[in-house]
Structure 1
Amino acid sequence: MKEVQVNVPGHSYTIKLGSGVIKDLPAELKRLNPSSCLIVTNITVGSLYLKKVSELCNTVCRTESVVLPDGEAYKDWNSVSAILEKLASMGADRKSVVIALGGGVVGDLAGFAAAIYMRGIRFIQVPTTLLAMVDSSVGGKTGMNMTAGKNLVGAFHQPEAVIADSDFLRTLPEREIGAGIAEIIKHGVLADKDYFEELERDMEKLRALDPETVAEVVGRSCEIKAGVVSRDEKEKGERAKLNLGHTFGHAIEKLTGYGTWLHGEAVAVGTVLAAVTAEKQGKINRDDVKRIRDLIHRAGLPVRISGISAAKAIEAMKGDKKSTKGVPHFILPVAIGTTVIEEVPESLIREVLLEEGYQP
């Protein structure tokens, strides 16, 4: 087992990583001394793991569950409301604890509900996807989508613990594995050249879920994100760099319909687009752009998208959370392992999109 510490002002917690670490959930609950627990999951994960996790939680306190539909299309107020209504009907109080059992969507929804129920109750992240283990379960971002855009409603609400059991990955579809690898590659591009080189060396092992490789990679990605979050919890500066590929990616998700493209798939294309944009500005050399594109392709991920409107994509990006007065900000790699945050002329963004497969 590996442990990574996350320290933010007024709060700290531990990420526990490894095979079989779900057994530590009762100990984490005992430490919190909850009056009751609510497990939030979706129909897919629930059919696999809800019974086991419920049994573990019931050894500590009365435990109930709510099972949501599966998919990004359900990351909305209806799902948040279902969690809140369940908390109220079961008599949850300020000592209750929410357990988020699932991927990034479940974690965001459960965390957001915990953030606003009785003005904030505690929650634990139990991520079951690779993407959630290396990214969304760490750092306290919670929320839901709106028709106008992704994650436009939410709160910063840090978990009490993250328990990332790699055994859960055995039931993960190959496409979901790729989505998680997209965020892993992102970490290498934005923060750690040596890590990126390790991913180039070990990509086939990672895709095959080689246990030693998974342990090393998940641990390193969590260390990178935990370090950034500890220095900038509320995304006032450095933490924004974790959104590499996301300004482009969120527009892809919105325009194709939430759930059509997995979040990681959209981020993969977005990362390529960010690199191409940086190259056109003379910020990064062509060889590094090729290495980024090639590694994403080797991960089984898309490197471009066709058939969506560049004009609509630009409008969607103007409504992104990282925009100011309607002007989007982009995280651009200037070398593998180093990024900057900048405004980019709309004309250049349009040029990049059209060259990379978009329609006018």
Structure 2
Amino acid sequence: MQNGQILEVKAGEGYLVEITPGLLSDAPKLAGRLSARLGLTDPAVRAVIVTDSNVGPLYAENVQAALEAARPGASAGVIAIPAGEQSKTPAELVRVLEAMAGLRLTRKDAVIALGGGVVGDLAGLAAALYMRGIRCLQMPTSLLAMVDSSVGGKTAVDLEAGKNLMGVFSQPVGVLIDPEVLRTLPAREISCGWGEIIKYAGLDPDVLAAVRQELGSGEDGSGLAPLPSVDLIARSIDVKRRIVSEDEKESGARRLLNLGHTAGHAVETASCYALSHGASVAIGMHILTKALVQEGKLPRAMLEDLEALLLKAGLPASLPPELLARPDLDFSTDKLLAIARHDKKSAGSGVNLVLPVAPGRAEVKKVSWEDFRAMLETGLR
């Protein structure tokens, strides 16, 4: 078993990201962590677990038992949402808020977000809104949520116009990660998380070197990505931790974390979420890199390197033929551009794009809609 790691995020009131292999199966240790992060020695404090229909049956009972071990009466119960992106809606958010009110939670109480990115985003937003804000502890169970969405305080649900358009910045009181739970995930979810790890590789040369080393053991074309090491999970979080600590609310450096996301969100939305978020980010990164190579602004070796990493991670570099063949889906440039215009990174006459400039380096640049259209057309060919 690999050793755990602790990282500090200097955003909001500051909090720790604790990576502890085996935490969810170690009741005394989990009880101690929950008590420390939520102040469960106070008899007035309770915590409700928000989870989904996949994760809840696996781990909610363990977390409830740990809450009760920390202090009898500390558990306020479990609220479960249907698994999947389709639950990340205003209607489901209101249902969770009504359930929290039905449990008579007070401002001293807390939410435990137990699940993947959808649960973390929705539960975090519910906590931020309930009684104008109660505490939220993130306990991510997917690779994507561990390395990305559980850290940084972005909470949101989707609107029909696009992803994450209804949300607030609200930092958690802590993040507890048990990487052992990754062994229960299907291959698609592991690959999805690799999409965000490869994004960090585009922002940090050290992460790029580590990704190349760990994916080097992958079987080309197998579609099965290896589990990342605790060290690589921590390295990925560290990139985000450093950027978020510098720019909590995305007015500057934090925009770098959107590498691959503008085009990625567009194809994800156009696919009606048949594409995972990680796969969509992978396609988004490939679109931009390919367009810049065609324009002579990047060496072809960068595109080839990205394609090799995506292949070993079981991620697509382009839109899958089976989705392109579906008559109910529209991946035309006009459709993707229309979706992108509703993206949070839209800036009136153009969009703030994160563009790769060298291996392990990217920059934010304002790009006109005409130029972005051209990049989409070139990158999708």
TM-score normalised by the shorter chain: which range applies? over 0.9
Separation (CA, whole Å) in 1 of partners of 2:90 and 2:254:
26
Q: In structure 2, what is the equivalent of residue 29 of structure 1?
A: 34
1:30, CA displacement in angstroms? 2.1
Alpha-carbon contact 1:57-1:63 (below 8 Å) kept: no
Of 9, 17, 20, which residue of structure 2 is paired with 1:18? 20
- Which region of structure 1 is more displaced relative to structure 2, 75-84 or 282-291? 282-291
Alpha-carbon contact 1:274-1:330 (below 8 Å) kept: no
Alpha-carbon contact 1:13-1:159 (below 8 Å) kept: yes
| One-letter code aligned to 2:111 | V
| One-letter code aligned to 2:32 | A
| One-letter code aligned to 1:85 | E
Of 153, 157, 161, which residue of structure 1 is paired with 2:170? 157
2:154 aligned with 1:144 = no
Q: In structure 1, what is the equivalent of residue 210 of structure 2?
A: 198
1:205, CA displacement in angstroms? 4.8
Q: In structure 2, what is the equivalent of residue 349 of structure 1?
A: 372
Alpha-carbon contact 1:18-1:164 (below 8 Å) kept: yes
Separation (CA, whole Å) in 1 of partners of 2:177 and 2:268:
26
Q: In structure 2, what is the equivalent of residue 111 of structure 1?
A: 124
Q: Please identify which structure carries the higher helix content.
A: 1
1:353/1:324 CA distance change after superposition, 3 Å? closer
Separation (CA, whole Å) in 1 of partners of 2:107 and 2:368:
48
Identity across the alignment (%): 39
| One-letter code aligned to 1:226 | R
- Which region of structure 1 is more displaced relative to structure 2, 91-100 or 24-33? 24-33
1:348, CA displacement in angstroms? 4.0
Alpha-carbon contact 2:291-2:378 (below 8 Å) kept: no
2:201 aligned with 1:183 = no
Separation (CA, whole Å) in 2 of partners of 1:350 and 1:323:
13
Q: Secondary structure at the match of 1:344?
A: strand
What do residues 186-212 of structure 1 show as CA deviations (whole Å, max 9, x unaligned)?
00112x113212211211557332xxx
- Please give the residue correspondences for 1:268-307 in structure 2 after superposition, counting only pairs within 5 Å: 268-305=282-319, 307=324
1:355/1:282 CA distance change after superposition, 3 Å? closer
Q: Paired residues, what number?
A: 352
Of 64, 72, 82, which residue of structure 1 is paired with 2:77? 64
What do residues 72-103 of structure 1 show as CA deviations (whole Å, max 9, x unaligned)?
11100122112211111111001101000000
Alpha-carbon contact 1:249-1:270 (below 8 Å) kept: yes
1:278, CA displacement in angstroms? 2.9
Normalised by the size of structure 1, how large is the TM-score? 0.93
Q: In structure 2, what is the equivalent of residue 317 of structure 1?
A: 340
- Please give the residue correspondences for 1:30-109 in structure 2 after superposition, counting only pairs within 5 Å: 30-31=35-36, 32-34=38-40, 35-59=45-69, 60=71, 61-109=74-122
Alpha-carbon contact 1:277-1:348 (below 8 Å) kept: no
| One-letter code aligned to 2:255 | A
Structure 1: gaps (5+ residues)? none
Q: In structure 2, what is the equivalent of residue 254 of structure 1?
A: 269
| One-letter code aligned to 2:59 | Y
| One-letter code aligned to 1:262 | S
| One-letter code aligned to 1:19 | P
Separation (CA, whole Å) in 2 of partners of 1:270 and 1:285:
18
Structure 2: gaps (5+ residues)? 219-224, 325-330
Runs of at least 4 residues off by over 6 Å: none
